[in-house]
Amino acid sequence: MGQVNLGIIGGGTVGGGVFQALRRNGALMASRLGVELRVVRVAVRDVRKARAVKIPAALLTTDWQSVVNDPRVNLVVELMGGTTLARQVVLAALRLGKPVVTANKALLSAHGEELFAAAQKHGANLYYEASVAGGIPIIKVLREALIGNQITRLYGIVNGTCNYILTRMKLEGAGFAEVLADAQRLGYAETPPDLDVDGHDAAHKTGILASLAHGFWVNPRQIHTEGIRHITQLDIQFAGQLGYTIKLLGVVKKHDGQRPVQVAVYPALVPNSHVLASVNHVFNAVYVRGDVVGDTLYYGRGAGQDATASAVLSDLADAALDLKTGVKSRVAPFVPHERDGAVLPMDTAVSRYYLRLSVADRPGTLARIAAILGRAHIGISSVIQPEGHEVESVPLILMIHDAPNAAMRRALAQISKLAVIKGAPAMIRVESFE
């Protein structure tokens, strides 16, 4: 039996989880692969730090360069997080011709194009299954299983923190701030929680999926990104009355004959009849439509020590087999095959909308709002103005027909200036999955 020696960079939650998983199932993997995976070095920030997973002191070092440069190390596993030092680690390994496994979605989002080019130049491979949706093998699906399909639609619930918050807001009638505090206490959300609740984590993952699906590297600055801070209990309730559930979605759409691809992250009203509406708590799901296969769904735990470790083990197995057979890469990590690929400017994207306004309860209020929308050629499909609000302002809910984002944005700016409007309008897109 052959042996592949691993050098792990990072001994925290994920690094410790991978070490523990190898200790638990390493023999099983060896029997299946015909290759033994052996950890020979682990680089950490502080060798004296108490760790939930015990790593033998003899393996630990604070010098990541000594791990990457160690002639015994055949395969480098980058699990440190961040983008600056992690980029140096990955590039240094690739320049030595050593394959790299990473779980770092922020690194790939910011520097993926450079890293994949370096892998190709130096004849090494870069494996990154754990970078998106934890234990869901969505990278393999796009790179391998659906390679014969044009991907026309991809929708992802890829941030467990936001899904946990929105689920509890719906099921318990709780407010955003209350559930966020619980999420932080339980370790589902960081402090501060901006990366998750403002949509940036989901944008990193959505950009990677869009790049794989459409063959050009998506610049993260071109991904329209909205979070869930503005979602209120009122929105959850009215969405439910209308037959919808609110989810934070990563959206990748390519319309027939359209070269630019819409790549965005935003909260959306999802029909209760659609499978994504029932994905709850910290679970993730990715819904993919291919022109040959049709609609497919991939569901599971999207984060956490064990789910991420499972995805890393999958990459370790692939890398070990490639090293065993002497193949540089059975499947290229990323092939930039779409030279004319571009991201659709969000202002030109067309959608249906849910619009919540806080208005003065006076005659003619709805007429003024409808007049502004009418002049913008934006149609109203339905209106809800609940009774029983004996206060100065009342909620007014409008469901809007398909309209370009730019037209809707300009109309909302005009509506906001009306004297009858008593607060900032809340606009949420509606997905029909057509």
Q: Tens digit of pLDDT for each residue in 114-124?
A: 999 999 999 99
Q: How far is CA 158 from CA 280, 283, 428, in A?
A: 12, 8, 18
Question: pLDDT, tens digit, for every residue of 393-424?
Answer: 899 999 999 999 999 999 999 999 999 999 89
> What integer is the mean pLDDT of 67-94?
97
Confidence of residue 390 (pLDDT cuts 50, 70, 90): low
Q: Would you say 378 and 370 are in contact if contact means Cβ atoms under 8 Å apart?
A: no
Compute the distance between CA of residue 202 and CA of residue 205 in angstroms, rounded to an integer.
Answer: 5
> What integer is the mean pLDDT of 67-87?
97
pLDDT at 388: 65
Beta strands 283-290 and 151-157 are antiparallel
Amino acid identity, position 430: V
Task: Identify the structural domains of the chain with CATH numbers, from first to last.
Answer: 2-134+305-325 (3.40.50.720), 138-301 (3.30.360.10), 349-430 (3.30.70.260)
> What integer is the mean pLDDT of 36-44?
98
pLDDT at 116: 95
Compute the distance between CA of residue 383 and CA of residue 366 in angstroms, rounded to an integer.
Answer: 9
Is pLDDT of 6 > 90? yes
pLDDT at 259: 76
Nearest C-alpha neighbor of 251 from the set 58, 69, 433, 405: 433
Q: Would you say 30 and 37 are in contact if contact means Cβ atoms under 8 Å apart?
A: yes
pLDDT at 141: 96
Is pLDDT of 330 > 80? no
**SS3 of residue 108 by DSSP:** helix
> What integer is the mean pLDDT of 10-14?
94
HEC profile of 262-283: EEEEEEEEEECCCHHHHCCCCE
pLDDT at 434: 83
Confidence of residue 303 (pLDDT cuts 50, 70, 90): confident
Compute the distance between CA of residue 209 and CA of residue 205 in angstroms, rounded to an integer.
Answer: 6
Structure tokens at 142: 């796009």
pLDDT at 387: 76
pLDDT at 389: 60
Is pLDDT of 1 > 80? no
pLDDT at 140: 95
Residue 326: CA atoms inside 13 Å, Cβ hemisphere, count? 0
Compute the distance between CA of residue 66 and CA of residue 179 in angstroms, rounded to an integer.
Answer: 44
Catalytic residues: 205
Is pLDDT of 348 > 90? yes
Is pLDDT of 300 > 90? yes
> What integer is the mean pLDDT of 106-127?
95
Confidence of residue 257 (pLDDT cuts 50, 70, 90): low
pLDDT at 118: 96
Confidence of residue 338 (pLDDT cuts 50, 70, 90): confident
Beta strands 151-157 and 244-253 are antiparallel
Residue-averaged pLDDT of the chain: 94
- Which of 184-188, 260-264, 323-327, 335-339 is predicted most confidently? 260-264
pLDDT at 332: 77
pLDDT at 40: 98
Q: Would you say 72 and 52 are in contact if contact means Cβ atoms under 8 Å apart?
A: no
Q: How far is CA 314 from CA 98, 101, 307, in A?
A: 18, 10, 11
